[in-house]
Chain A
Amino acid sequence: MTDLVQIVAVTVSSLLLLVVLDLVRRRRLTEEYSFIWLVCAAALLGLSLWRESLHTVARWLDVHYPPAILLLVLVLFVFVASLHFSLVVSRQRQQIERLTEEVAILAARQREVSQAPEARSPSDPAPEPSRGPA
């Protein structure tokens, strides 16, 4: 790895680290979802600063241009991060659907409560006991 490449690599990974930390500081990025980026930036920074580690991994993988390892690590992390966020989106989807259902049910209960008893037809089933707030 040449000095120039190392300088660029260290600068870029430091910048990534600082940007992510600042986004968390400003509450634009929640702590939970910042971890994968922080680990990525830290790994890249570590590999950039510590030349020997980069060369060791390159030798091990029979890669003749050590900075290619940085690229490999970056691509791998971006892939893992994308997959991770697909999982997060899936879970949030489930939560949103659940909340939507609860809102609809709450609204129905609200209507039942505000309806005068005479307005309800004798064939209406009795409403289920509420599990909502007291």
Chain B
Amino acid sequence: MKVLALIPAYNEAASLPRVVSELRERWPALPILVVDDASSDETPALLPGLGVRWLHLPVHLGLGGALRAGLRYARSLGVDLVVRVDGDGQHEAGEIERLLEPIRRGEADAVQGSRYLDADGHPEAGPRRSAQRALGTLMARVTGQPVTDPTSGSWALGPRAVRLLGEYHPTGYPEPELRLFLARNRLRVTEVAVRMRARLAGRSSLTAPRAGLALARVALALVVVPLRAAAEGSPRD
């Protein structure tokens, strides 16, 4: 299967070169696609020198939109397997094979890496952790699947998921809604234990008001997504 590393990047000039070189070191043959979400820093200027494929979005779409564009482009390149590696360096290159395994074995259509299945996943603490756990419990009830790390951006997507999400990837801060969408469209999602780091540089775009809005958005998704018709292209019964 053709694999691709998808790196969404928004103002990650400080960490992007390191993320790319770490990937190259660990997986020299892995093709890389960077999606520059209309960054206002030096990210666009860096891209030609990194020796990667890239998309430069002329208008800022947010993480969900950037991933959607990257997945649609990947599909047009004939890619079967996409692994998401964030431009801030939180995702370790060494974890990639663990994410891909269940898909390679044909057991899953998508895999989410969870910091909380193992003891040393570099978990969050405090109020953020409590919120994640509460959300995870709620989502587990709605989807009927274990959801231990709902906001984790560590994902591997198999061919069915790549095809569907190139059209329908949720926008905004999409990870919880992504789980809901995949469950509703009967794609098999598995969790694996992964380790994550703190971001290598820069600041998260997730400010407090944005987090509030993201939470409201998830609340809405919990009601609306399970009631939606199956998306075109999803596996039917």
For the complex, is B121 an interface residue (Cβ under 8 Å from A)?
no
For the complex, is A99 an interface residue (Cβ under 8 Å from B)?
yes
For the complex, is A122 an interface residue (Cβ under 8 Å from B)?
no
Instruction: Label chain A's interface by main secondary structure.
Output: helix
Interface positions of A from 1 to 52, Cβ below 8 Å from B:
21, 24-27, 30-32, 34-35, 38
Is A134's CB under 8 angstroms from B220's CB? no
User: B54 to chain A: which residues have CB within 8 Å?
Assistant: 133-134
Is B221's CB under 8 angstroms from A31's CB? yes
User: B56 to chain A: which residues have CB within 8 Å?
Assistant: 131-133
Is B55's CB under 8 angstroms from A102's CB? no
For the complex, is A98 an interface residue (Cβ under 8 Å from B)?
yes
Interface size on A, as a range, is: 20 to 34
User: A102 to chain B: which residues have CB within 8 Å?
Assistant: 58
Is B172's CB under 8 angstroms from A129's CB? no
User: A99 to chain B: which residues have CB within 8 Å?
Assistant: 58-59
Report how many A-B pairs have Cβ atoms within 8 Å: 44
Is B227's CB under 8 angstroms from A25's CB? yes
CA distance in complex: A22, B10 (Å): 33
CA distance in complex: A69, B56 (Å): 50
Instruction: Label chain B's interface by main secondary structure.
Output: helix
CA distance in complex: A26, B220 (Å): 13
For the complex, is A86 an interface residue (Cβ under 8 Å from B)?
no
Q: Which of B59, B220, B224, B227 contacts A95 (CB 8 A)?
A: B59
Is B58's CB under 8 angstroms from A38's CB? no
Known: A129-B48, A131-B44. A24 touches B220 (CB 8 A): yes
Is B228's CB under 8 angstroms from A25's CB? yes
Q: Which of A21, A99, A102, A134 has the most chain B CB atoms inside 10 A of its CB? A: A134
Is A98's CB under 8 angstroms from B228's CB? no
Known: A21-B224, A31-B217. A134 touches B58 (CB 8 A): no
User: B48 to chain A: which residues have CB within 8 Å?
Assistant: 129, 131
Nearest 6 CB-CB pairings of A with B: A102-B58, A134-B53, A95-B59, A25-B224, A24-B224, A25-B227
A residues near B (Cβ < 8 Å) are 21, 24-27, 30-32, 34-35, 38, 95, 98-99, 102, 129, 131-134
